[in-house]
């Protein structure tokens, strides 16, 4: 639906995970407006919420907003970067 970043199966809390599997983190949709989506970035092992990816109007792009002080490996940062690039590509395609 929308950006093509959702699965058909909804979690119990009404949020859906992205179908692309990453090595370190997963992204779960938190909310949606007519133009943008906000995702929770969660640790795959503990399911702890690390941050959110949401639209940042001053830069006119999706950005990552950490919710806690954390240490990120290069692989984890690459997962987050790839997710944001895919979200931006999908947004460009939908107008």
Which residues, in sequence order, are CB contacts of 14 under 8 Å at separation 6+? none
Q: Is 71 exposed, middle or buried (0-12, 13-18, 19+ CB in 10 A)?
A: exposed
Closest by CA to 41, choosing from 33, 30, 57, is: 30
Per-residue pLDDT band for 20 (boundaries 50, 70, 90) equals confident
- pLDDT tens by residue, 50-64: 999 999 999 999 999
Q: What is the pLDDT of residues 77-91, one digit of tens each?
A: 999 999 999 999 999
Select from 77, 35, 76, 79 the least CA-distant residue to 55. Answer: 35
Backbone torsions φ then ψ of 81, nearest 5 degrees: -60, -45
């Amino acid at each position: 639906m929308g950006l093509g970043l959702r699965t058909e199966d909804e979690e119990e809390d009404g949020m859906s995970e992205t179908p692309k599997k990453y090595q370190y983190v997963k992204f779960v949709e938190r909310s949606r407006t007519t133009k943008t989506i906000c995702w929770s970035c969660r640790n795959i092992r503990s399911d702890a919420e690390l941050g959110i990816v949401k639209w940042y109007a001053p830069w006119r792009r999706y950005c990552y907003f950490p919710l806690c002080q954390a240490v990120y490996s290069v692989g984890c940062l690459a997962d987050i970067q790839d997710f944001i690039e895919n979200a931006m590509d999908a947004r460009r395609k939908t107008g």
